Amino acid sequence: MNTKIYHVNCVETNRIIINGQGNNATWDKAVTLTDFVSPWETKPIDKIEFKAVHDNVNLFFLFKVYDPQVHINKNDDSINSINNSDRVELFFRTDASLTPYYCLEIDPTPRLMDFKAHPNKQFDFNWDWPVKDIQIKSSINEKGFTVEGAISLRSLTDYGLLKDGKIETGVYRAKYHQQQDGSYEPTWITWVNPNTETPNFHIASSFGLFKLT
C-alpha cells in the first residue's frame, strides 16, 4: 500500500499567531488537505480542511470543520466527556511498531485529551504533552468549528517523532450524531483508510507521512 504524503511548507518565523480563527494570511502558503473519508459509513461526510506549516521552530496545524450541528458533551472536563464530543485528532508515531505513539484529541472548546499509547490500545492518560511545547485555540460559529495549534519541533524531535524532516502522522475526526432515542453515536473519519472491517485509528495502517519542506 502506498503511503499518503502531506507536504508541510516552511514559512517565515513569527508570522502565525495562534488565535483559533485560522485567519492568518500565512495559512495561504499551506497545502490544503481535504481527502478525508469514513470507510465504514455509506452517507457523505461534511467537509474538513486541514493545513500545516512550520517555521523551523514550531509545527503549526489548522483544522476547519464544516458542521452546523457541533456536539460537545458538557457533563464535566473529564476524559470521558471529551471522548464523547465532536473532535479532531493528530497521532504521531515513532515507527510502524507503534512503540510508542502519541495522541492529541481536541474538541471545539478546545479541551485537549493527550496521551501516550502502545499497541492494542494500551493508553497512558497520565502522560501529557509538555505545556511549554504546545498551544491550542479554537472557535465555533454557525458553519462549524476551527482548531488551531502549534507544537514545538524540539518536542517532536525529543520524542523521536521528527526524523530527517519527516513525521509519521495520523489525521482524524470524530463526529457525533444524535439518535432517535437521544443518545449520540460517532462517525469516524480519517485521512488514511486503514482498511479495517470496523473503525480503528490505533493501527499502523491509519498513518500517513508529513514531509517538512
Q: How many domains does the chain have?
A: 1
pLDDT, averaged across the chain:
96
Q: Give the pLDDT of residue 196.
A: 97
CA distances from 46 to 70, 85, 160 (A): 11, 16, 34
Q: Give the pLDDT of residue 132.
A: 97
Q: Which residues, 6 or more positions from 18, have their beta carbon under 8 angstroms from its beta carbon?
A: 60, 135, 136, 137, 148, 149, 150
Give the amino acid at 149: G
Query: Phi and psi (nearest 5°) for 93?
Result: -120, 155
- Integer Cα distance of 142 and 120 in angstroms: 38
In the predicted model, is pLDDT for residue 11 greater than 70?
yes
CA distances from 133 to 40, 180, 190 (A): 35, 42, 25
User: Cell numbers of 147, please?
Assistant: 482548531
Q: Give the pLDDT of residue 150.
A: 98
In the predicted model, is pLDDT for residue 206 greater than 80?
yes
pLDDT digits (tens, 9 = 90+) for 54-97: 999 999 999 999 999 999 998 887 889 999 999 999 999 999 99
pLDDT digits (tens, 9 = 90+) for 175-192: 999 999 989 999 999 999
CA-nearest of 140, 32, 40 to 86 is: 140
**CATH number of the CATH domain containing 16:** 2.60.40.1190
Helix (H, G, I), strand (E, B) or coil at 102: strand
Q: Give the pLDDT of residue 101.
A: 98
Structural domain span for residue 51:
5-212
The CA radius of gyration of the chain, in Å to the nearest whole number, is 16
In the predicted model, is pLDDT for residue 165 greater than 80?
yes
Q: Give the pLDDT of residue 69.
A: 94
Q: Give the pLDDT of residue 201.
A: 97
Over range 193-212, report the average pLDDT. 97
Q: Give the pLDDT of residue 1.
A: 60
CA distances from 139 to 19, 111, 147 (A): 9, 12, 7
Q: Give the pLDDT of residue 77.
A: 76
Q: Give the pLDDT of residue 98.
A: 98
